Amino acid sequence: MSNSSVVQLRRLESRDDPLFLRAVEAVCLAFHNEKHTVVSIPSMVGGRFELLAVIVAGMIGACMTDGNVHFAAEAREDGGEEVLGVICWVGPGQEIKLEEDLDWQRYIQQGRKDPVWGDWYDEILKKSTSKLAASTLPGGAHTLNRYCIEALGVHPAHRRRGIGSKLINTVIEAARGHPNPDCAIVWVITSEGTAAYESCGLKVTYSIYIPSPWGDFTYLSLAWKKEQGGLK
């Protein structure tokens, strides 16, 4: 498919949608493919890469239920559609309930079969992400007065086409239109790919080193605020 094809942004709302599995596949390949693996992924799966599709399905599913999932797609020559990238996000008042999603439950159950992973997840990962949120969000780690990007993935075959920026700007435009400036902050944690976020006006606010048995990495917190047209 040529780069001149029309890219459409749409909302994903059901696991029954035939594009759900294609969305899961696109995000999985964005995180782990034959050329590159995102540095945090080995730790997230505890070295068991078969769990990656379970994590991604759980995240997308939970965000469809309690938040928002948008995807970029274009027509294929066979008449179908190709999913180019996916963004999962929540807005003010929304909170995804990962623990209620069956795929996420399966991921945690499988992960905890390795006690080393279970301890790392509880004592390192969860506490570190909470600290990142507290350092960035004016209302603290548990505030719902924010827009939060939970996951972003662009299929590696469709990078450098502005797909990631289109998806990120979906969230920024939602925040820009919110009448309460206290809610109009877009926040994300990532271990890689800050350039896409920074090109959309988000700025790094905090970083934290994450030790891990599967390879240490650094998480970065980035944010955009409406009242400043981005953070200073």
Instruction: Summarize pLDDT for 6-23 with one digit per residue, the tens.
Output: 899 999 999 999 999 999
pLDDT digits (tens, 9 = 90+) for 137-162: 988 888 999 999 999 999 999 999 99
Tell me how far the alpha carbon of residue 3 is from its chain's centroid.
25
Provide the phi-psi class of 211: left if phi over 0, else alpha when psi is between -120 and 50, else beta: beta
Q: Which of 151, 155, 150, 152 lies closest to 29, judged by CA?
A: 155
Tell me, what DSSP letter sits at residue 145? S
User: Quick one: average pLDDT of 49-78?
Assistant: 95
What pLDDT is attached to residue 4? 53
Bridge-partner residues for 59, per DSSP? none
- The whole-chain average pLDDT of the chain stands at 93
User: Quick one: average pLDDT of 161-174?
Assistant: 96
What pLDDT is attached to residue 232? 41
pLDDT at 62 over 60: yes
Q: How far is Cα 52 from Cα 29, in angstroms, rounded to an integer? A: 10
Which residues neighbour 107 within 8 Å (Cβ) at sequence distance 6 or greater?
Answer: 51, 54, 55, 58
Give the pLDDT band of residue 69 (cuts 50, 70, 90): very high
What pLDDT is attached to residue 124? 97
Bridge-partner residues for 203, per DSSP? 223
What pLDDT is attached to residue 102? 96
What pLDDT is attached to residue 183? 87
Q: Which of 221, 147, 228 lies closest to 191, judged by CA?
A: 221
What pLDDT is attached to residue 209? 97
pLDDT at 175 over 90: yes
Name the superfamily (CATH) of residues 8-228: Gcn5-related N-acetyltransferase (GNAT) (3.40.630.30)
Q: How far is Cα 55 from Cα 63, in angstroms, rounded to an integer? A: 12
Q: 3-state SS string over 32-44?
A: ECCCCECCCHHHH
User: Does the global pTM surpass 0.85?
Assistant: yes
What pLDDT is attached to residue 181? 82
- Considering the chain, what percentage of its residues have pLDDT values greater than 90? 85
pLDDT at 1 over 60: no
Give the pLDDT band of residue 2 (cuts 50, 70, 90): very low
φ/ψ of residue 107, rounded to 5: -60, -50
* pLDDT top residue among 69 and 227: 69
CA distances to 91, 146, 173 from 178, rounded to whole Å, are: 10, 10, 9
Amino acid at 3: N
Long-range pairs, 74-79, Cβ under 8 A, ≥24: 74/1, 74/5, 74/6, 74/7, 74/8, 75/1, 75/5, 75/6, 76/1, 77/1
